[in-house]
Amino acid sequence: MLKKEYSIRNSFLELVLGDITEMNTDAIVNAANSSLLGGGGVDGAIHKKGGPKILQECKKIRKFYYPNGLPTGEAVITSGGKLKAKYVIHTVGPVWSGGNHGESRLLKKAYYSSLNLALEKELTSVSFPSISTGAYNYPVQEASYLALKTIKNFFYKNSEITKIVIVLFSKKTFNIYLSTAQMLFLQ
């Protein structure tokens, strides 16, 4: 497994080439859609491996809290079902529509909402996929900068979460995140 670790203040950020459904952090983050009822990409993989319990919990959340769907940038939490991770945090990243429709603010918000939920649950380790860069078409270069900058800022404000992993599914995406991280963390 390709892996690169950065130490930021008292915490660690890891970039990993792999499958997020295999991660044993306290929580993994799902790049969900607002229906919360499953989809393709990482969403489909999480529900497939985690089993029906996750979907049942998502349906309850929809019914009681978000009858019109989870707004972009917000996050909710369920158990991890059969996954190694105890929890799944479901967040909705923005669909890329050229860059002038609040995409960067909403992508940042998706990372922050997820991390704030992890804090509320007193979790200490969280894995993220590259939110929005699949079906939602966000350019990976820009997304990597926002994701890494947001996590860096988070580590400067909070020390309770000690490990954040970004799990990249392709060598190409991994390399883009790697070069952005070298620029942001090793200056």
CA distances from 86 to 3, 116, 149, 169 (A): 22, 17, 26, 21
State the minimum distance, in angstroms, from the CB of residue 30 to ligand ADP: 8
Is the CB of 45 or the CB of 158 nearer to ligand ADP? 45
Annotated catalytic residue, options 17, 30, 36, 43 = 43
Q: Cβ neighbours of residue 105 under 8 Å, at least 6 residues apart?
A: 73
Q: Name residues whose C-beta falls within 8 Å of residue 58's C-beta, 6 or more positions apart in sequence.
A: 36, 37, 38, 76, 78, 90
**Is 26 or 103 the residue whose CB approaches ligand ADP more closely?**
103
Nearer to ligand ADP, 117 or 140 (CB): 140
Residue matched to tokens 């007193």: 122
The span from the CA of 14 to the CA of 168, in Å, is: 11
Q: Which residues bind ligand ADP (CB under 6 A)?
A: 19-21, 31, 41-43, 45, 93, 129-136, 167, 169, 173
Least distance from C-beta 184 to ligand ADP, angstroms? 19
43 tagged catalytic: yes
Q: Which amino acids are annotated catalytic?
A: 43
